[in-house]
Amino acid sequence: MRSITFTETGFEMAQTPRSAASPGRQAGQPPTARTGRGFASPRGRGLPFALCGTVLALCFLATGASAGNVPEGCFARAYSDDHMAKVPEQSVVQMLALVEPYPTELTEAQIFLKVLFREGGQGAVNVVPGTWYKQVLFCWDGPRDKAAPLAGWVTPDALTCYAECDGGMMQIARWDGSKLDLRTSGLFVDEDGGECEGNAFLAPEGQEAVTFRLHPVDLNFCVSQ
């Protein structure tokens, strides 16, 4: 199980033994309530969006920088009305990702993700349009279980990020200094203040997986949201 204690310098997460994380959900598989905490976080030093703004000394991430193959900084996208009209199955209208290297014996990076949905489309289940949802993911180089068969959408050598509480999986599919592609086959997300609760789901829009292309922005943009 996971316990989080918020402090003035971020949050601390107690580590417990972990079971196998859920692989990405298959296309067309309806989301079901999370029944367990299949992923136990490493003890963390990362800063959620709101707390980061109050501890600026710990938030000097170089926007669009990179530590090896790990992007670092704030990445975002607000999809235009024209884009949404061309992609009617998409439900995500805004996405923010605060990414930082997080080198431990278990992890290489962590992502604080926030998503805003519209009404309609095939990319959201059990969400309230216009409400921000969030998720925290911890990333490894490649899949966690090297012996397990890979889902068809997974790139073997990409950073693979796992959400807590059997919340799903996301990959950093591409990072070239100007574009960050995040790919997922589905991800549970929580409202602000929630912790592994509810059944809100970022869905792959009727596909096996969906990719969101974000771009580097000023760190304050992530902090202020």
Q: Which of 165, 198, 183 is nearest to 97 (CA)?
A: 183
- pLDDT given at position 51: 38
Mapped onto helix, strand or coil, the DSSP state of residue 215 is strand
Residue 1 pLDDT exceeds 90: no
Instruction: Kindly list the domain boundaries of the chain, sorted by start residue.
Output: 62-224
Q: Taking CA 96 as the corner, what is the angle to CA 204 and CA 151, rounded to the nearest 5 degrees?
A: 30
Tokens 């109050």 belong to 54
How many Cβ atoms are within 10 Å of 140's Cβ, its own excluded? 15
Which token pair is 137?
A: 């993911």
Mean pLDDT of 52-67: 37
Give the helix/strand (H/E) hosting 210.
Answer: strand 210-217
Distance of CA 150 to the CA centre of its chain: 19
Mean pLDDT of the chain: 74
